[in-house]
Structure 1
Amino acid sequence: MTLTQLTQPTRHWRRPVALLLTGQALSLIGSSIVQYAIVWHLVMRTDSGIAMTVIMLCAALPQAVVSLFGGVWADRWSRKLLIMLPDGIIAVVTVALSLFIAHGADALVLFFVVLAIRSAGAGVQTPAVQSFIPDITPEDRLLRVNSINGTIQSVNMIAAPALAAVLVNLVPLWAILYVDVTTASIGIVFVALIRAAKMAPTSARSVVGEMRAGLRYAWRFPRIRAVLVSYTAVCFINIAPMNLTMLLMNRGFQGQSLDLGFTVLHTASDKLAANEMAWSLGMVLGGALLATVGARVFHDNMALLAASFLAMGACTVALGLAPTLLAYLIVDFLIGVGTALGSSPTYTLLQQETASDMQGRVFGLLTTFSGFGTPLGMLVFGPLAEVMDVQTIFVVGGVLTIPLGVWLWRLNRRVPASP
């Protein structure tokens, strides 16, 4: 029996999909709250572009490295177990960090180590989740399920910064960390309830060979190769500078308040939360459009990705030119819409055009390439933020993103979908 036959989705797919998406949503919101709380704590404590670069390296580089192995493991081991295990390890590490902080240990290196471990866990979990979705979902429902998944995550990202902002102002950091421990435990239970076919394990000696096979496979197909290359480039020139939005909010709009009617953005944590929420609201709208109308109307995933890059480029330029906090938040919302229009179609394209027993490695490569692109970009743009206006960095990053959308659009017209 082949791997494809072992993992072919049954007609009773809605329950396992609901369990997976719910479990991941619960795990994500707890992780996001804690991640925001830790990063904001470090940003307000240091107010340094170099510190932001170190934070980004710790939060992204381990995931990029581990994803190379995580992709192989997802193709040969239990994807269900690989989804649950990182949550358990991260929960233990988070408890340890809380105990250290509660007893007065708050050295920066301690936070950096914990961020790195959390990142490494994501390197195992991310390719496992993305390759597990087509195992339990019919192919004609993949775009809709991916879009629903993206929408749920975006809703969580709206709630997470808002809750983090409240908790940061009311609760000590060590206590906030237990939110992640609780939600991770619940998420593990949900995923454990999914019945999934077992996969044959591989020997440790074959891992490097499997990674090479995955790279050769991905590079053989122009469309898969183009997604990997373009994602890496966008992470370097666009996503990396976007991580400086916290510095832009902290520097460019310091002392400026914004009355939204239902609330007033006054403190630094309020503005940082609004920054994340504006982008997340855009992600929700874009994901909801794809999950409802888009899943029935749009069938060209590569074209959607190209349009997303064009929109992200134009909006990033506008973000750097925004004269007021209100204008900034509006553009940030539009960037979220553009990002959602590209993320779900990208996952769907790779799931549909990649063989089942190669999906873990391809998604591992996607995570690795994009994961390296972001910290490498921060190594360039983080130090630049110390010697030049952050707004200029956004303008440059946006301008350089637009040609990538044009390239994908032309490639999509010349190269048919991979079998």
Structure 2
Amino acid sequence: MTTAHTPATSTPTTDLMEIESQLSAEEVSGRDRVADFVDRRIRPHIARWYEDAVLPTELFSEMAQLGLFGMHLTGYGCGGRSATEYGLAMQELEAGDSGIRTVVSVQGSLAMSAIHKHGSEPQKQRWLPPMAAGEIIGCFGLTEPTAGSDPGGMATVAWREGDEWVLRGQKRWIGLASIADVAIIWAKVPFADSEAAVEGEHRARADSAGDVVRGFIVSTDTPGFGAAPIEGKLSMRASLQCDIDLDNVRVPADSILPQSPGLRGPFDCLSEARYGIAWGAMGAARDSIEAALAYATERRQFDRPLTGYQLTQKKLTDMTLELTKGQLLSLQMGRMKDAGTLQSHMISVGKLNNCRTAIDICREARTILGGNGITGQHAPLRHANNLESVRTYEGTDEVHTLIIGKRLTGESAFR
């Protein structure tokens, strides 16, 4: 899987198993277009963006032109690319920075995916084309201050009043919310109100309290909607996560996603995001190895390059072995997703393994850089810091461990 530092016609240094040979010419071409974008537009500036805690929104139009928004969705101006092509693109973007890759995940895998999977035809026609073009930016409001890993415990509510829905509550850690034009907000709705809004056979299931989780399309300029960036982050600094406050926000009756089946609605979207994360984490890991290898080749100690020492070679070997396994896992996931055989527990395998592996690789790569590795001039520690967030969002290690544990044992250990 080529790196932005290596011509596409040659085998990259880290590709020990010739994974490159398993990719089609179309997959390679699409990946290399994204790698070129990262080389030109992200690498020269990312250290400054990260230090200044700036999300480079000026990149959004170019990302849309590359077809990255809704890349793996079909119709409505979306790219219609394969899951494998999408995964390769996420790997290249995260080789630049996790925060930049998150923009594509929030826009395409979460906000656009929610409308594409669960929206009505008029909703799809209204929102998806301008979102694919980058003319409208979306966000996805699920997580709350006291409901992270347990979204069923959300406190945000919505109820019907005449021809309107009224939403009240708070959301936290919502990507892009303060600059978004539209928000997908998940709220608990009285079962009777929910049933009246459901299309066809798409019936939502009530929880023990008699409420059901439903999704709403909310324009962010609606009175009562407020979003503020979370400050003081030590991770994902070239990104934007926000608090949302919903103070009796009134939206039209047709703002509800008519085909969202309870909690399965947001979970379907989370699966899309988790899949992209599994690929993306390998981009951060690969970039860290390549940075360490380049540094060790040039850096001399005791009259020889660092690459000439056994301990350095062991570190590089161990890291690249783990990278290779993670990339092969991602590729297998992509092929299965394209074939329609990928199951939800498999996505948990990829997300858990690759995030855990990537953060270990980035930390180890930093050690090869010595003290210089803690500066913004070098990528590995920035990647490691970002991965602290990536490892946590869209399901913590603990959540994915229990998903896999349930698959292995048949027993749910969440409660």
TM-score by length of 1: 0.33
TM-score by length of 2: 0.34
Higher-strand-fraction structure:
2
Larger relative contact order (C-alpha < 8 A, sep ≥ 6)?
1
Q: Which is greater in Rg?
A: 2
Higher-helix-fraction structure:
1
